[in-house]
Structure 1
Amino acid sequence: MMMMMRMLQMILLLTESVLISSYQLNSTVECERPDKKKTVRVLAGESLYLPCPNDDCHIETENTSYEWFKYIQRTEQVEQIGTEESERIHYHLSELYILWLTLNDTGRYITRWWYEEDKCDEYETDVVVYEEFNTDLLDYTPEEEKPSKIYCPVCEYQQATFIWYKNFSLIPNQESAGYLLLRNSSKESAGIYTCVCTWEHNGIKHNRSGFRELIIRDMSSSTPTFQLPINNSIVITDVGTELILQCSVFFGRTVCDECSVQWERNKTRIDAVNGYKQETRKQGGIMESFLTITKVSELDLGSEYRCRAEDSYEYFYVSIILKRKESMIPVILACVCTFLLVLVLSGIVKWFSLDLVLFLREIIAKLNRTEDGKLYDAYVIYQRNLEEKTDKTVSDFVNGSLLTVLESYCGFKLFIHGRDDLPGEDCMDLTESKIQLSRRLIIILTPETSTTSSAAYDLELGLHQALVQGETGVILIQLGKMQDYTHLPLGLQHLLCKNSPLLWRDGETSPNSRFWKRVRYRMPVASSHWRSSLRNISLECQPLTV
């Protein structure tokens, strides 16, 4: 039993190899292939009866043989179609049947007709399946201005019955024929006509729809209409490149045997000139002419090109101008210069931003000055009783640069211990009241910590005023370099996390230095009654204007 099964398998394999070799042998015969290919457009769900595209191939079925194939684009191979009528896709002699079409049936179908033993023709038909109605399904045929019949574009070789629709609405009382009679046709007759033909195969009825658009030509507007190009338009190109010029003219739906569209250069027709190729085609009343310039030359740039359309009576034309593509170098240079200019202006604005803000703030303050009940512009908190060197640095800064710049030059009113307190006053009450009467707190930071109770108290009270009550702004000024701030109170460390201190370098006494501008930026506007007494002071403190 096993031997018989193996022998049967070998026979099947040999048979299959013989069939394959036979097909490959036949495929080596060079068939003649017409250049013209046919395209058939159909709707999904309907059925297609596809005869051989050539009339002789379709009619002369005696002493001939046929083969049908489908080209598989994915694998670039052909697949032979069978003859079993039980299959959805099969063929009978010169007729191919694709029943109940699906989108996957879209593709190229090949008919091979053997009219002699070693001679054959091969025809290709592209089938396109649409899921729903598409304008590509419309069939255009030139009509007279008053047509009397519309022929169904499908089911030409079949016994079938027909139903007609206009603009997808059923036309009642129409004969079941392959054409539709139009009585007293007028412009109202224009529209999309659909014929649904019903045919039978193996006892089963199948449908196929054909679509045809009817456009009634208006004889009053018979002048050709240019769709492309626009008259006196400019086409940008470059020397040495290929250029295709398109001219599209609408002549109407009627047959116009003497209509033509041609390209001219300098009012001379271009015919069989090296480097130029002209191709014309016509479809649905529109005639198009394509002029291909293989390599644009300087002569082309200096020439006038025009498209000439001619009907049975006269001619019309539109002109175009070829223009060299402008160099991008000036545009790039302009962009680079603009970028550099913006960069420089941004740098200038950033560098002088403090001066600009201070200048504007001075103007706004003069126009909108309101009293807030404060007596001092800033309360200065600094540590005392430090080491001799540090204490001298702090004293020189507070009693020297700070007073000189902020009070003498800029007109701010500061409260400083030892200078503005009165003998016999309670230190704590004095500190609390003066801080409440101050708009800012200036806290001087040093690398050392003071043990003086008064310095610690005004610092603690000032931090409470700034952090808890949020009524007073704080300006931190650091004297000298510090490795860290761990020796400072926690509230002060919290402020340092939010705002970096202003670092003062010894010798910065000019009111127009970067440091003092930043201090003044964080200070309020100087008190008005102080300004009135400082009208004749030097203007060195005024901000630079841009």
Structure 2
Amino acid sequence: MYFLFNQLSHSTVGCVVDSGSIYIFLEFCTINQLFLKPKCEEFDVDVIDATEGEALRIVPSVLTEFWRNFTVEDFTWYRHGSQDEYFSSDQEERIHHRGAELFLLDLHTSDSGLYVTRHNLSSEETNCYYTEVTVHPARNRKLQFTVRVPDRNPWIPCLQRIESLCMDEGGNLTWYRNFTLLHGKHDKILRLNNVTKADEGMYTCVCTFTYNHRVYNSTASRMFQIEGERAFKALKKKKKKTDCVGLSTSVTLNCTAYCGRNLLYGCSVGWFIDGESARDEVGYTMNVDSAIVQPSQHSSVTAVLTIHRVSARDFQAKFQCRATNSYKSVNQTLTLKPRGEWRGLCVVFLCVLAAVMVKCFAIELALLFRRCFVHSRKEDGKQYDAYVVYQTQSADKATEQTLCNFVTNVLPSVLEKKCNYRLFIHSRDDIPGEDRLELVESRIRLSRRLIVILTPGPDSGSEVLGQKNASSENLGVSGYDWQVGLHEALVQREMSVIMIQLGHMQSYTHLPPGLQHLVRKSAPIRWREGSRGAAKWNSRFWKRVRYMMPAAPAGSPTPSVVV
């Protein structure tokens, strides 16, 4: 069996039997318009609410300004459905069109539906406009929207399609409040003065016009309410219009609008990124919350924008918080800057500052931490913190007096009395009757440091102490101190040497070779007798000496027998 379709509207149906095959021919007289409709460019849908028994005129919103420039033949109107219902331009019909206008007279609830306007611009170009019409029963009048204003002298506008219909058809515009005529009110905007709660209610603008010798009404109703005080300061101002954030971090931006007292409707807040709503952006989340603070009843709406992962694009974008109500719109723009730049500068600055402080105050810091973190002295069998050795041979009288004052007065008063160190000073701490050489060896081995007091050499250019031309008589016991101490420091490496220089020295050639080696490695600490801090334990000189002394003193010195 074979079916042959001509895609024509309707006519006879015939069949032919040939060799066992049946051919069925379906012939339609009128070409089906559905298959021959050219493709059209579609526009957004207009929505209209109307009331049963009234008249309605539909003009596509995109043609509002220039629909009169076209002819009747340029338009085709129909209601979309399972079978499209086409409307002619015959004005005797209840529903007909006048080009871009479609009139629906004596509306029925069954007239609800989607109305399509095909605008034939040329043989190859067609636009399609859509209007969704809902016809409500007369007893259930649809309110277009509610007018809420804080003003005591409000304006209530008539719906624009009612106003334009009345103007085009030469109709009469009147106003009603709660179905009561307001005498003398015929303007498209109803102006009220000194309103009170009694003025609240439903306001209806009615256009009465004559069409084809019949009178029709077209109405629109709005509810009017007096709202609470509106104090729309839309945005809670930020002190900074730039936020520093880290790359790849999560950031939350808050924006709050103050809407007035006990008032949340008609007030909206939202975030926009480069002019586009943040709701449509991937990687961002926007939440809006509203609240009324008691007991002040101040209303606020807060929009919270979360940037899940800050990217380089965010540093170039403009984040705009936009707050709007029925009367105005205000904006506040925020930009983001990478925190890393400032962080890097801060890190570099802190590092440089720390390096400078360590360089300039290393000794002070070490002494401070010694005091804060006092450790018990590790038992090493040592009885003295330092063994003091000094040179007396070939010194002039002034040098000898300076040396005597430093060794017997200044040095003990600072290190022993104020710092609690225990010193062994030759000639002060000798024990009568004990072998002098054995005493030197034993006391040096019982000491943790070797303090060497350096004095200027003789002016006569005599031989260096301890060298081959120096006689045993010149070296004496003091020379033996040098030898044993330097042996412990240089050979055994069991002692640290603290060199203190008294006065100014042109050179150190008068010192033993081992001591000259130590001087080349580390310059001596110079003590100036007449300086302000010569005998102060917290002066720069004594801080350096204390820094080189053991961290934990051996304890208060025992009484010594001075011979």
TM-score, scaled to structure 1? 0.38
TM-score, scaled to structure 2? 0.37
Choose 1 or 2 for highest CA Rg. Answer: 2
